Amino acid sequence: MPELAEVEFYRRRWSAGHGDRVRAVRVHAGKPLFRQCDPARLVRGLTGATLLGSEAAAKQMLFRFSGGGWLGLHLGMSGELRVEAPAYAPARHDHLILVQRARQLVFSDPRMFGAVRWHQGPRPPEWWTRLPPPIRSAAFTPAAVGAFLQRRRRAPLKAVLLQQERFPGIGNWMADEVLWRAGLHPRRAAGGLTPAEVRRLHRACRTVCRQALAVIAGAGGRLPPDLNAHIPRSWLFWHRWEDGGRCPRTGVPLVRETIGGRTTCWSPGRQRPS
């Protein structure tokens, strides 16, 4: 499930453990989740360390520990972070648990497309510092979007929006939401947009990211009880999987089809193929 805003939502859950020491680590070593790290070193580094802080960017999270330890998490397709009571008994898909005095920080991922990384050193790891500039940053300009679209000019817009090197954090539902807001058909060739359409796409990316973060991860106040609790009914989000779902703006029946290898939903009329 997790895209930009969901990742931030889950990171903030674990921030309940900031400032507390990790007394023990439970890990399903040998699972593909740990292919990018050495589970033995992970456990050795985490045990006894204090969780000092954390950040999320794109679909990545980075947790900082005392002693120069950095824990990287990616939630893949089905990952989630939870906070459980000290007495909680681990379930089958709880592949990494940081046990603290007052709680357990649980990383659960049934499909195991996620990843766990461990880095030891004074500075954050290379993979983190080299992430592309966020969509909400000043570096995400219409010119940068336009240049990227030109390089992928024959690919459908939907496929291009899913490329993390230019649209970090965008996933399947956010891509559909962006194209719907911009009024662009997902099958349009990336290189065929007018300058005005590129600007619309750029603006829709920023708007969707900003609003999704506010609504899903909480603007500044407290975390919503549930991921989707505050997503407005006026978003495509709620209608894209419904059978007989209708465009919340035009009332026209929505269409679903595979584009760029992923199930894609759009509103005919509002998003024209040429």
Partner DNA sequence: CCAATTGTTATTTA
Partner DNA sequence: ATAAATAACAATTG
Catalytic site includes residue 31: no
Phi, psi of 91 (to 5 degrees): -95, 175
Query: Listing from the earlier edge strand, what are the strands of the sheet with 51-57?
Result: 51-57, 60-65, 69-74, 115-120
User: Cβ distance 156 to 145 under 8 Å?
Assistant: no
- Least distance from C-beta 240 to DNA, angstroms? 8
126 noted as active-site residue = no
* Residue among 13, 203, 262, 270 flagged as catalytic: 262
For DNA, the closer of residues 99 and 209 by Cβ is 209
The one catalytic residue among 2, 156, 168, 186 = 2
CB 209 → DNA: shortest distance, Å?
13
Site residues (vs DNA, CB under 7 A):
1-3, 6, 32, 58-59, 74, 76-77, 92-93, 110-113, 151-156, 159, 162, 164, 171-173, 190, 241, 260-263
Q: Around 247, how many Cα atoms within 13 Å sit in the side-chain half-sphere? A: 21
When the beta carbons of 45 and 156 are compared against DNA, the nearer one is 156
- Judged by beta carbon, residue 59 or residue 181, the one nearer DNA is 59
> 76-104 burial, b if ≥16 CB within 10 A, otherwise e?
beebbbbbbeeeeebeebbbbbbbbeebb
Q: Give me the catalytic one of 3, 6, 8, 80.
A: 3
**Which one of 6, 11, 39, 59 is the catalytic residue?**
59
Which residue, 92 or 222, has its beta carbon nearer to DNA?
Answer: 92
**245 neighbors 253 (Cβ within 8 angstroms):** yes
Least distance in angstroms from the C-beta of 119 to DNA? 16
Give me the least distance between CB of 256 and DNA, in Å please: 8
Query: Is there a catalytic annotation at residue 262?
Result: yes
Burial class from Cβ neighbours inside 10 Å (0-12, 13-18, 19+) for residue 123 reads exposed
Q: Which residue intervals of 125-245 are DSSP H helices?
A: 126-129, 142-151, 157-161, 172-182, 195-216
Residues 61, 135: contact at Cβ < 8 Å? no
Residue 2 falls in the annotated catalytic set? yes
Mind telling me the catalytic residues? 2-3, 59, 262
